[in-house]
Structure 1
Amino acid sequence: MIDIVGQIMLYVNNQEESLSFWTEKAGFSVISEQESGPMKWFVIAPSENAQTSIVLHDKELVAKFSPGMNLETPSLMFFTKELDQLYADFKGKNITVGDIVEMPQGRVFNFADNEENYFAVVEKK
């Protein structure tokens, strides 16, 4: 039985720029930085004690060492208790955001990272 989603692999074109986006703009923390040979990756999460983290991998290097691997951006939905505050914060940091909309699961908006990958945030109180 699987108990939890541990990590999500996010394959990016520029690790340093993506790391900067996720930490400086989206407010994530760096959990660890790891290297193995020519590969380097960053483990980030919304907080130090988050159960799920995102791993930023260099898309070009992964493609080189693992041909045929699916390197597409996953569709991610984040949760927040303070949707309006987060929305205003993202707009203030010049993050591309969509309108806040009502969905069956609650109020939602989407945002784009530095590589124009879109993700969603839903309000969970």
Structure 2
Amino acid sequence: MISKIGQIMLYVNNQDEAKEFWTDKVGFSVISEEDNGQGMRWIEIAPTKEAETSIILHNKELIAKMSPELNLGAPSLMFSSKDFDKLYNDLLNKNVTVGEIVNMPSGKVFNFADNENNYYAVMETK
């Protein structure tokens, strides 16, 4: 049986710009960077080094050539934050495109766009 989500593959046009966005703007950490010396490079990022789930930034163009059958669109991700209002204001101050805060039955939610205009959501957790 599956017990957790280990990694999420995020296919991006520019790995360096994506790494900069996720680390500088969102506050993720680089867990590892690998390059097989044959053009395949991947960057593992996560909210903390101890996180159970990480995001792997892959070169979209290279993956499309290697595996044309894959869906290379951005996944629809919902992040959680105990510092919801602080995160919202931090993203605004870093000129990240953010949506309005919406009150849902499960709590407050907002969305934000990455450097390639893919949208992700954040839900407040207590």
Fold match by TM threshold 0.5: yes
TM-score range, shorter chain: over 0.9
Query: What root-mean-square deviation, in Å, do the aligned CA atoms of Structure 1 and Structure 2 show?
Result: 0.6
Structure 1 residue 101 corresponds to structure 2 residue 102: yes
Q: Which residue of 1 aligns with 2:84?
A: 83
Q: Which residue of 1 aligns with 2:121?
A: 120
Structure 2 alignment gaps of length 5 or more? none
Shift of 1:104: 2.0
Alignment of structure 1 residues 56-67 onto 2, 5 Å = 56-67=57-68
Q: TM-score, normalised by structure 2?
A: 0.97
4+ residue runs of structure 1 moved beyond 6 angstroms? none
Separation in structure 2 between the aligned mates of residue 70 and residue 77 of structure 1, nearest angstrom:
19
Aligned residues: 125
Shift of 1:32: 0.2
Give the SS at the match of 1:23. helix
Separation in structure 2 between the aligned mates of residue 48 and residue 68 of structure 1, nearest angstrom:
32
Q: TM-score, normalised by structure 1?
A: 0.98
Q: Percent identity?
A: 62
Q: Which residue of 2 aligns with 1:24?
A: 24
